[in-house]
Chain A
Amino acid sequence: KQEVTQIPAALSVPEGENLVLNCSFTDSAIYNLQWFRQDPGKGLTSLLLIQSSQREQTSGRLNASLDKSSGRSTLYIAASQPGDSATYLCAVSPLYNFNKFYFGSGTKLNVKP
Protein backbone atom coordinates (compact mmCIF):
# COMPACT_ATOMS: atom_id res chain seq x y z
CA LYS A 1 0.00 0.00 0.00
CA GLN A 2 1.26 3.47 -0.89
CA GLU A 3 2.38 5.65 2.01
CA VAL A 4 3.07 9.34 1.57
CA THR A 5 5.17 11.31 4.02
CA GLN A 6 5.73 15.05 4.15
CA ILE A 7 8.58 16.69 5.99
CA PRO A 8 8.64 19.00 7.82
CA ALA A 9 5.21 18.95 9.43
CA ALA A 10 5.46 22.67 10.06
CA LEU A 11 7.72 25.43 8.80
CA SER A 12 8.01 29.10 9.74
CA VAL A 13 10.07 31.45 7.59
CA PRO A 14 10.47 35.21 7.19
CA GLU A 15 8.99 36.84 4.14
CA GLY A 16 11.17 36.76 1.04
CA GLU A 17 12.88 33.46 1.70
CA ASN A 18 13.04 30.66 -0.82
CA LEU A 19 11.89 27.37 0.63
CA VAL A 20 11.51 23.69 -0.19
CA LEU A 21 8.78 21.34 0.94
CA ASN A 22 9.42 17.62 0.73
CA CYS A 23 7.19 14.70 -0.14
CA SER A 24 8.22 11.05 -0.24
CA PHE A 25 6.27 7.98 -1.28
CA THR A 26 6.96 4.30 -0.80
CA ASP A 27 5.75 2.83 -4.11
CA SER A 28 7.37 4.30 -7.21
CA ALA A 29 4.65 2.85 -9.49
CA ILE A 30 2.73 6.09 -9.67
CA TYR A 31 0.55 7.61 -12.36
CA ASN A 32 0.96 11.21 -11.26
CA LEU A 33 1.60 13.44 -8.28
CA GLN A 34 -0.34 16.55 -7.35
CA TRP A 35 0.46 19.39 -4.95
CA PHE A 36 -2.36 21.23 -3.20
CA ARG A 37 -2.67 24.06 -0.72
CA GLN A 38 -5.32 24.09 1.98
CA ASP A 39 -6.28 27.26 3.81
CA PRO A 40 -7.89 26.97 7.27
CA GLY A 41 -11.53 26.00 6.98
CA LYS A 42 -11.30 25.85 3.21
CA GLY A 43 -11.07 23.22 0.53
CA LEU A 44 -7.99 22.17 -1.40
CA THR A 45 -6.62 24.25 -4.24
CA SER A 46 -4.67 22.42 -6.91
CA LEU A 47 -1.22 23.94 -7.44
CA LEU A 48 0.66 21.62 -9.76
CA LEU A 49 0.17 18.20 -11.33
CA ILE A 50 3.18 16.18 -12.48
CA GLN A 51 2.75 13.15 -14.68
CA SER A 52 4.99 10.18 -13.92
CA SER A 53 6.90 10.78 -17.17
CA GLN A 54 7.70 14.39 -16.22
CA ARG A 55 10.54 15.68 -14.06
CA GLU A 56 9.08 19.04 -13.07
CA GLN A 57 6.29 21.54 -13.44
CA THR A 58 6.35 25.28 -12.89
CA SER A 59 3.65 27.80 -12.15
CA GLY A 60 4.67 31.32 -11.22
CA ARG A 61 6.83 31.21 -8.09
CA LEU A 62 6.18 27.51 -7.64
CA ASN A 63 8.27 24.69 -9.03
CA ALA A 64 7.57 21.04 -8.33
CA SER A 65 10.03 18.29 -9.14
CA LEU A 66 9.55 14.56 -9.29
CA ASP A 67 12.11 11.79 -8.89
CA LYS A 68 9.98 8.71 -9.30
CA SER A 69 12.76 6.17 -8.86
CA SER A 70 13.71 7.54 -5.45
CA GLY A 71 10.10 8.19 -4.45
CA ARG A 72 10.50 11.91 -3.90
CA SER A 73 8.96 15.18 -4.90
CA THR A 74 9.80 18.69 -3.81
CA LEU A 75 7.81 21.89 -3.98
CA TYR A 76 10.00 24.96 -4.29
CA ILE A 77 8.48 28.32 -3.40
CA ALA A 78 10.49 31.34 -4.45
CA ALA A 79 10.39 34.69 -2.66
CA SER A 80 7.78 33.58 -0.12
CA GLN A 81 4.98 35.95 0.87
CA PRO A 82 2.62 36.03 3.88
CA GLY A 83 -0.17 35.02 1.50
CA ASP A 84 1.64 31.72 0.95
CA SER A 85 0.83 30.72 4.53
CA ALA A 86 -1.27 27.56 4.33
CA THR A 87 -0.97 23.80 4.60
CA TYR A 88 0.62 22.18 1.57
CA LEU A 89 -0.41 18.65 0.68
CA CYS A 90 1.04 16.25 -1.83
CA ALA A 91 -0.93 13.35 -3.23
CA VAL A 92 0.08 10.47 -5.48
CA SER A 93 -2.12 8.28 -7.63
CA PRO A 94 -1.07 4.67 -8.19
CA LEU A 95 -0.24 3.44 -11.66
CA TYR A 96 -2.78 0.64 -11.36
CA ASN A 97 -5.59 2.79 -9.95
CA PHE A 98 -5.10 6.36 -11.07
CA ASN A 99 -8.47 7.55 -9.80
CA LYS A 100 -7.30 7.18 -6.22
CA PHE A 101 -5.06 9.73 -4.53
CA TYR A 102 -2.97 8.91 -1.48
CA PHE A 103 -2.33 12.04 0.55
CA GLY A 104 0.47 13.04 2.87
CA SER A 105 -0.40 14.73 6.16
CA GLY A 106 0.82 18.08 4.90
CA THR A 107 3.35 20.77 5.77
CA LYS A 108 1.92 23.78 7.58
CA LEU A 109 3.74 26.85 6.30
CA ASN A 110 3.80 30.19 8.08
CA VAL A 111 5.45 33.10 6.28
CA LYS A 112 6.10 35.96 8.70
CA PRO A 113 5.90 39.55 7.45
Chain B
Amino acid sequence: DSGVTQTPKHLITATGQRVTLRCSPRSGDLSVYWYQQSLDQGLQFLIQYYNGEERAKGNILERFSAQQFPDLHSELNLSSLELGDSALYFCASSVGVAGDGELFFGEGSRLTVL
Protein backbone atom coordinates (compact mmCIF):
# COMPACT_ATOMS: atom_id res chain seq x y z
CA ASP B 1 0.00 0.00 0.00
CA SER B 2 1.58 3.29 -1.16
CA GLY B 3 -0.56 5.45 1.11
CA VAL B 4 -2.04 7.30 -1.88
CA THR B 5 -5.79 6.81 -2.21
CA GLN B 6 -7.70 7.29 -5.42
CA THR B 7 -11.43 7.15 -5.99
CA PRO B 8 -13.30 5.86 -7.82
CA LYS B 9 -11.37 2.78 -8.92
CA HIS B 10 -13.57 2.28 -11.95
CA LEU B 11 -15.84 4.69 -13.78
CA ILE B 12 -17.93 4.15 -16.88
CA THR B 13 -19.55 7.11 -18.54
CA ALA B 14 -20.71 8.40 -21.90
CA THR B 15 -19.17 10.79 -24.38
CA GLY B 16 -19.83 14.42 -23.58
CA GLN B 17 -20.09 13.82 -19.85
CA ARG B 18 -17.96 15.21 -17.04
CA VAL B 19 -16.27 13.26 -14.25
CA THR B 20 -14.18 14.07 -11.21
CA LEU B 21 -11.37 11.86 -9.97
CA ARG B 22 -10.19 12.25 -6.42
CA CYS B 23 -6.80 11.72 -4.83
CA SER B 24 -5.64 11.78 -1.24
CA PRO B 25 -1.85 11.95 -1.00
CA ARG B 26 0.32 10.24 1.58
CA SER B 27 0.30 11.92 4.92
CA GLY B 28 2.89 14.69 4.89
CA ASP B 29 3.33 14.83 1.12
CA LEU B 30 2.86 18.29 -0.34
CA SER B 31 3.11 17.46 -4.05
CA VAL B 32 0.41 15.76 -6.04
CA TYR B 33 0.86 14.66 -9.63
CA TRP B 34 -1.65 13.38 -12.15
CA TYR B 35 -0.67 10.95 -14.89
CA GLN B 36 -2.67 9.38 -17.68
CA GLN B 37 -1.83 5.87 -18.83
CA SER B 38 -3.21 4.57 -22.08
CA LEU B 39 -2.22 1.55 -24.14
CA ASP B 40 -0.73 3.59 -26.94
CA GLN B 41 0.76 6.55 -25.06
CA GLY B 42 2.18 5.02 -21.93
CA LEU B 43 2.40 7.14 -18.78
CA GLN B 44 1.86 10.80 -19.63
CA PHE B 45 2.35 13.57 -17.10
CA LEU B 46 -0.66 15.84 -16.84
CA ILE B 47 -0.16 18.29 -14.01
CA GLN B 48 1.48 18.82 -10.64
CA TYR B 49 0.41 20.76 -7.58
CA TYR B 50 2.62 21.68 -4.67
CA ASN B 51 1.02 22.84 -1.46
CA GLY B 52 -2.07 24.07 -3.25
CA GLU B 53 -0.35 25.82 -6.13
CA GLU B 54 0.00 24.59 -9.69
CA ARG B 55 3.68 23.76 -10.13
CA ALA B 56 4.02 22.18 -13.55
CA LYS B 57 1.85 21.35 -16.51
CA GLY B 58 2.32 18.57 -19.00
CA ASN B 59 0.16 17.26 -21.79
CA ILE B 60 -3.11 18.20 -20.17
CA LEU B 61 -6.01 18.98 -22.46
CA GLU B 62 -7.99 22.20 -22.01
CA ARG B 63 -11.04 20.04 -21.26
CA PHE B 64 -9.22 18.77 -18.18
CA SER B 65 -8.55 20.75 -15.04
CA ALA B 66 -7.28 20.00 -11.59
CA GLN B 67 -6.90 21.58 -8.21
CA GLN B 68 -5.35 20.87 -4.85
CA PHE B 69 -7.31 21.80 -1.78
CA PRO B 70 -6.06 23.18 1.57
CA ASP B 71 -6.15 19.69 3.05
CA LEU B 72 -3.84 18.68 0.14
CA HIS B 73 -6.23 16.30 -1.54
CA SER B 74 -6.58 16.83 -5.25
CA GLU B 75 -9.26 16.46 -7.87
CA LEU B 76 -8.92 15.99 -11.60
CA ASN B 77 -11.91 17.13 -13.59
CA LEU B 78 -12.44 15.72 -17.07
CA SER B 79 -15.17 17.31 -19.19
CA SER B 80 -16.70 16.88 -22.63
CA LEU B 81 -15.38 13.36 -22.53
CA GLU B 82 -14.36 11.62 -25.72
CA LEU B 83 -13.76 7.96 -26.44
CA GLY B 84 -10.02 8.63 -26.49
CA ASP B 85 -10.08 9.79 -22.88
CA SER B 86 -10.58 6.20 -21.78
CA ALA B 87 -7.47 5.41 -19.78
CA LEU B 88 -6.04 4.77 -16.35
CA TYR B 89 -5.53 7.97 -14.40
CA PHE B 90 -2.90 7.83 -11.69
CA CYS B 91 -2.27 10.19 -8.89
CA ALA B 92 1.12 10.26 -7.22
CA SER B 93 2.47 12.19 -4.29
CA SER B 94 5.84 13.14 -2.93
CA VAL B 95 7.20 15.17 -0.08
CA GLY B 96 8.73 17.77 -2.39
CA VAL B 97 9.33 17.75 -6.08
CA ALA B 98 10.12 14.74 -8.25
CA GLY B 99 13.85 15.12 -7.91
CA ASP B 100 13.79 15.02 -4.14
CA GLY B 101 12.90 11.39 -3.98
CA GLU B 102 10.40 8.84 -5.04
CA LEU B 103 6.88 9.41 -6.14
CA PHE B 104 4.27 7.20 -4.53
CA PHE B 105 1.52 6.20 -6.89
CA GLY B 106 -2.04 5.29 -6.13
CA GLU B 107 -3.72 2.31 -7.74
CA GLY B 108 -5.40 4.43 -10.36
CA SER B 109 -8.88 5.25 -11.57
CA ARG B 110 -9.90 3.41 -14.71
CA LEU B 111 -12.12 5.58 -16.87
CA THR B 112 -14.11 4.04 -19.68
CA VAL B 113 -15.93 6.38 -22.02
CA LEU B 114 -18.61 4.72 -24.14
Q: Is the pairing of A and B real?
A: no
Chain B contacts to A: CB under 8 angstroms: none
